[in-house]
Amino acid sequence: MRVRYIYYRYLTRLFYHYPLQGRKVRSLAIFSKKNYYDLFFSFLTAVASLTVIIFIIGILIVLVKESSFAIGKFGLINFLTSTAWNPVTGIFGAATTIYGTFVTTALALIFAIPTAIGIAVFVTEIAPNILKGPIGIAIELLAAIPSIIYGMWGLFTLAPIMSKYVEPALQNTIGKLPFVGILFKGTPLGIDLLTASVILGIMIIPFTASIARDSFNLTPAVVKESAYAIGATQWEVVKNVVLPYSKLGVFGGAALSLGRALGETMAVAFVLGNNHKIATSLLDAASTITVSLANEFTEADSDLYLSSLYYLALVLFVMSFIILAISKFFLLKAERKYSR
The span from the CA of 189 to the CA of 158, in Å, is: 11
The span from the CA of 11 to the CA of 5, in Å, is: 10
- Is the CB of 224 or the CB of 276 nearer to other proteins? 276
160 binds other proteins (CB under 8 A): yes
Binding mask 40-79 toward other proteins (x if CB under 8 A, else -) reads ----------------------------------------
296 binds other proteins (CB under 8 A): yes
- Is the CB of 215 or the CB of 274 nearer to other proteins? 274
The span from the CA of 253 to the CA of 128, in Å, is: 24
- Is the CB of 95 or the CB of 306 nearer to other proteins? 306
Count residues binding other proteins (CB under 8 A). 32
- Is the CB of 195 or the CB of 327 nearer to other proteins? 195
- Is the CB of 63 or the CB of 155 nearer to other proteins? 155
Could you say which of 94, 116, 139, 155 contacts other proteins (CB under 8 A)? 155
Could you say which of 105, 124, 171, 274 contacts other proteins (CB under 8 A)? 274
- Give least dist CB 287 to other proteins, A: 8
Stretch touching other proteins by CB under 8 A, among 229-237, 239-247, 255-263, 272-280:
272-280
Could you say which of 147, 217, 265, 275 contacts other proteins (CB under 8 A)? 275
279 binds other proteins (CB under 8 A): no
How distant, in Å, are the alpha carbons of 39, 54, 177, 269, 314 from that of 51? Answer: 19, 5, 54, 31, 20
Q: What size, in residues, is the chain?
A: 340
154 binds other proteins (CB under 8 A): no
158 binds other proteins (CB under 8 A): no
User: Which residues here bind other proteins, judged by CB under 8 A?
Assistant: 84-89, 155-156, 159-160, 163, 187, 189-191, 269-270, 272-276, 285, 294-301, 306
